[in-house]
Each structure stands twice: as structure tokens, then as C-alpha cells.
A and B are shown apart, each in its own frame.
Chain A
Amino acid sequence: PEMQASLNSFYLFL
């Protein structure tokens, strides 16, 4: 099974 990653885990909020 695969899980959808979120962009938040790659990039930081400015």
C-alpha cells in the first residue's frame, strides 16, 4: 500500500 505524501514534509512554510 502507498500513502500520499504531503508537500509540507518537503518544504517549509515561509
Chain B
Amino acid sequence: MLELRLVQGSLLKKVIESLKDLVNDANFDCSSTGFSLQAMDSSHVALMSLLLRSDGFEHYRCDHGNFPMGMKLENLSKILKCAGNDDIITIKADGPGNDTVTFMFESPSQEKIADYEMKLMDIDSEHLGIPEAEFHAIVRMPSSEFARICKDLSSIGDTVVISVTKEGIKFSTKGDIGTANVVCRQNTTVDKPEDATIIEMQQPVSLTFALRYMNSFTKATPLSNTVTISLSSDLPVVVEYKIAEMGYIRFYLAPKIEE
């Protein structure tokens, strides 16, 4: 028996919208830790890791140890679009061997209750082990600013060079029509903490990434006012959006390398 009640149902809607362009189908794992997912895009360039901790749910029951539920994200998105933004979402499933999951949507006033049953699928998921890493640079900045930069640069070029120095974090691209550079300096003298840009740098780092993926990651912007970008010269970048009181969604992207 699995039963998860999420008062802030809009969080789940936003999470799925941020994933569905990169992943077609994925196993959601339910364990005592929480509701989680790890999935790679089909070309094995980007990986998404989601955790919604069990204590972030109003009610969390998962009796079956680790219980994977394979879902087609396009179908899940269709169903979650039927939930109102203020609805409470409850996810129910009988457990391993059962091939359906039920989503129940309750309006805040309890006047309307809907349930949608969705077929589960068997998915051979490939799970990558990601060790804890020491990063050369960790930058926290407003998520809307990061999204704006990725969108702006993708009208000029296909790749972005992200460089962190003492001066700040620089995003550069070049294309047929010209070049673009955007530098964000550390800025902690802001009225609201979420507007700050904070740079922790052990050593300068510069890496090149496909902008198409970065732009997809920014679909998670509605989940958090800030984004954390962690870079090391010999590792994929980690772009993390914290999900208030509940967990995170992390996007890992392999760099472009010199041939």
C-alpha cells in the first residue's frame, strides 16, 4: 500500500512540467526517505534527480520497501494538468504487482474531489551512481536571472561557456551573427536574500555546455527563486533548484569537450 498526500499539489505539477521535455518515461521510487526519481535523457547527456522527502508530505505511507512506479511523463503531465493549482494531491497505489496508480485531487474547500487512474509501465531504468563531489565553484543566483540568460544566449549560439573567476560568473556564446557575454558579479547587498548572487570559488573553472539542455533545465524556475550551479573542471555541471521544505530537483549535464 502506498499513499502520499501532498497539500501543495502545485509542486508536483511544476516538477513534472520541468522534466517532461527531457525524459519520456521514468521510474518513480517510493521509499521511507521519500518520493524520488532518477532519469537520463535518451542520449545520456543529461540526468535529472528528484527528491520529495517523506516528511514534506502531510501523509506518507509506503509499506513495500523500495517500490518503483514506471510512468510515461507525457501521460502523467496530462493527468496533473487536471488538478487545480490549489488542489491537494494524493497518490495511491496498491503496491508491487499492481499496474495502476491513482491520483486524487481535492479542492481546498473539499467541495470537489476527482480521481484519475493511470496505467503503470515496466521500465528498465539505468541507475547511475553519483558520488559526492568537491566542486571548484558553486554559484547561487536568482533562478529567473539564470533562465533569462540561457534564453537570451540561445538566440545567438548553441553552446554556452560558463566561467567562474574572482570577477564573477560569465556566460558566453558565439554564433553566425556574433558573440555574447553576460557577467554576473557577486552581489549580497540586496533587499531580499533570494535576489543575491553568491559565488564560492576554490579555483577558476570554465566549461562548455549545450544551451538546449540548459534551457530545458530552466523549466524548473517556478519551483524556486534561486538556482545553484556547481562546477568542476572534470565533472558534469549540477544545476539545482531547491523545492521549499521538501527536497530538490537536480539536473546534471555532461560538458562539451575538445575533440
Q: Which A positions have Cβ atoms within 8 angstroms of B?
A: 1-14
List 10 A-B pairs, minimum CB-CB distance, nearest first: A2-B256, A11-B128, A5-B254, A14-B127, A14-B129, A3-B259, A6-B44, A1-B259, A7-B254, A5-B257
Taking the nearest CB of chain B, how far is it from the CB of A1, in angstroms?
A: 5
Residue of B nearest to A5 (CB): B254
B interface, how many residues as a size bin? 20 to 34
A11 contact set on B, CB distance < 8 A:
47, 128-131
CA distance A10 to B194 in the complex (A): 32
B52 contact set on A, CB distance < 8 A:
none
Contact, CB under 8 Å: A12 / B128:
yes
B217 within 8 Å of A (CB atoms): no
Contact, CB under 8 Å: B257 / A7:
no
CA distance A1 to B40 in the complex (A): 25
Contact, CB under 8 Å: A10 / B208:
no
Judged by DSSP, the binding face of A is: mixed
Residue of A nearest to B257 (CB): A5
Contact, CB under 8 Å: A12 / B129:
yes
A9 contact set on B, CB distance < 8 A:
254
Contact, CB under 8 Å: A3 / B256:
yes
Contact, CB under 8 Å: A7 / B256:
no
> Mask for B109-136, Cβ within 8 A of A = 1, else 0?
0000000000000000011111100000
Residue in B45, B46, B127, B257 whose beta carbon sits within 8 Å of that of A2 in the complex? B257
Residue of B nearest to A2 (CB): B256
Taking the nearest CB of chain A, how far is it from the CB of B19, in angstroms?
A: 16
Q: A3-B258, A4-B254 are known; give 4 further A-B pairs, CB within 8 A.
A: A5-B255, A6-B254, A7-B236, A10-B254
B252 within 8 Å of A (CB atoms): yes
Instruction: Knowing A7-B47, A7-B236, A14-B128, say if A2 contacts B254 (CB, 8 Å).
Output: no
Contact, CB under 8 Å: B128 / A13:
yes
A and B contact pairs by CB, cutoff 8 A, 19 listed: A1-B259, A2-B257, A2-B258, A4-B43, A4-B210, A5-B256, A5-B257, A6-B43, A6-B44, A6-B45, A7-B252, A10-B235, A10-B254, A11-B47, A11-B128, A11-B129, A12-B129, A14-B128, A14-B129
